[in-house]
Structure 1
Amino acid sequence: MTDGSKRLVVALGGASGAIYAVRFLRQAVKHYDEVYVTMSRNAAAVLLTEMDIRMSEPPLGSDLVGFDAPQIRFCRPGDFFTPPASGSFRHAGMVVIPCSMGTAGRIANGISDDLATRAADVCLKEGRKLILVVRETPWNLIHLRNMTQLAEAGATILPAVPAFYHQPKTVEDLVDTVVARVLQNLGVEHDLMREWQAED
């Protein structure tokens, strides 16, 4: 039986910022043997609108990352019998990227109306790593309270806020600063950006 350390669950929400999911998945398949991916109803539309990515039917890992990726295993959003929906399925953690405030709100309040929210709920009840890459601004009071509730429940709130100290030259450089922080929070070594070093 595997200890789950080489398995990852990834949910693509319907928020703007599909590039974060694509860039993250390109890194994830380098570090994990199994990457279970579920997409919200709106995620495919956002991928098409923002990145001209049209998902196949059935979907393929190459649709998202641009190369053959047998590590990616797609799970239907309404399939509650798939492994990530079960607490007995061990894995290294789950990343919701990008995460809409609607998805975050449902997770915060224990509403499991699709596989993404169910798998996230499982992470919280089993004490597993759950990272939410939220993509919204500004935040209203409901958003703030949901974020507090999620943090208290054990989730890591990782807003899609790029860094600039490494002097990014492209949009991809900016996106990769967020991807790097996700990998760091998963305990994965990467070379996407240099660590901050104080000057002598």
Structure 2
Amino acid sequence: MQQTGPTALVVIDMINTYEHEDAELLLPSVREALPGIRRLISRARDAEADVIYVNDNFGRWRSHHDEILGIALDGPHADLVEPVKPDADSMFVVKARHSIFFQTPLEYLLDRRHIAHLVLCGQVTEQCVLYSALDAHIRRLPTIVATDAVAHIHRDLADAALRMMECNMGTRLCRADEVRLGAESGAPLSRP
């Protein structure tokens, strides 16, 4: 994977019905992270940066992105999905496990788009975001996690996960408004 090139925003698991175990613990954090996620998506779109949604398929093996989105928008927490839904230019990768890379075509997509840096936002900090940051690190792909644009189930585990990403994986942590996207997105990935 090359080190110079554009940055892509990866939105993790935000197309969600929140009808799963631990959802009640997750929902308050999603509401708190939503403004940061919305700002990142809006800025990425304005900068014509790639916005890639990588989302769980919830065991629906015959589904596609429109169906996954439709089910979430018809669900009890559509208010959390509507503001961050993919637009016509967004890319969508379906995953079945925690990491955005595990047995998905994401790495190939990033290579074809010449993406050299990632910004991660979405959920869950101590699960999918953590494992995705680790897999990006293994691939030598510089990564930022926007700390105010990720949601958690357990605050203490999320704080530990963020520390691990920063200390052990070289992930840069910053606020959503500090992330550089589009033409300004070359290294360094966050403003000094």
TMscore range, shorter length: 0.5 to 0.7
Normalised to the residue count of structure 1, the TM-score between the two structures is 0.52
Match of 2:95, SS state, is coil
Match of 2:5, SS state, is coil
Offset at residue 46 of structure 1 (A):
8.9
Q: After superposition, what is the alpha-carbon deviation per residue over 1:56-112, rounded to whole angstroms, capped at 9, x for unaligned?
A: xxxxx32xxxxxx52x211112383413368856413222223433326752xxxxx
Offset at residue 29 of structure 1 (A):
2.2
Higher strand share: 2
- What's the counterpart of residue 140 of structure 2? 127
The amino acid of 2:6's aligned partner reads K
Offset at residue 123 of structure 1 (A):
1.9
Gaps spanning 5+ residues in structure 2: where? Answer: 15-28, 59-68, 97-101
- What's the counterpart of residue 61 of structure 2? none
Change (3 A) 1:51 1:150: closer
- What's the counterpart of residue 49 of structure 1? 79
Aligned length: 145
- What's the counterpart of residue 121 of structure 2? 97
Change (3 A) 1:28 1:22: same
Offset at residue 6 of structure 1 (A):
3.3
Take 1:157 and 1:80, find their aligned partners in 2: how far apart are those partners? 26
- What's the counterpart of residue 165 of structure 2? 150
Q: After superposition, what is the alpha-carbon deviation per residue over 1:171-199, rounded to whole angstroms, capped at 9, x for unaligned?
A: xxxxxxx4321227x9549xxxxx9xxxx
Give the structure, 1 or 2, with the largest relative contact order (CA under 8 Å, sep 6 or more): 2
- What's the counterpart of residue 18 of structure 1? 34
Take 1:85 and 1:46, find their aligned partners in 2: how far apart are those partners? 34
Take 1:154 and 1:41, find their aligned partners in 2: how far apart are those partners? 29
Normalised to the residue count of structure 2, the TM-score between the two structures is 0.53
Query: Contact 2:152 / 2:158 at 8 angstroms: preserved in 1?
Result: no
Take 2:84 and 2:161, find their aligned partners in 1: how far apart are those partners? 32
Offset at residue 151 of structure 1 (A):
1.0
- What's the counterpart of residue 179 of structure 1? 176
Take 1:122 and 1:86, find their aligned partners in 2: how far apart are those partners? 15
Take 1:183 and 1:49, find their aligned partners in 2: how far apart are those partners? 27
Query: Contact 1:12 / 1:96 at 8 angstroms: preserved in 2?
Result: yes
Q: Which aligned pairs between 1:110-125 and structure 2 lie closer than 5 A?
A: 117=132, 120-125=133-138
- What's the counterpart of residue 24 of structure 2? none
Match of 2:51, SS state, is strand
Take 1:181 and 1:128, find their aligned partners in 2: how far apart are those partners? 19
Aligned-residue Cα RMSD (Å) equals 4.2
Offset at residue 150 of structure 1 (A):
1.2
Take 1:31 and 1:10, find their aligned partners in 2: how far apart are those partners? 15
Match of 2:179, SS state, is helix
Gaps spanning 5+ residues in structure 1: where? Answer: 56-60, 63-68, 108-116, 159-177, 190-194, 196-200
Query: Contact 1:18 / 1:51 at 8 angstroms: preserved in 2?
Result: no
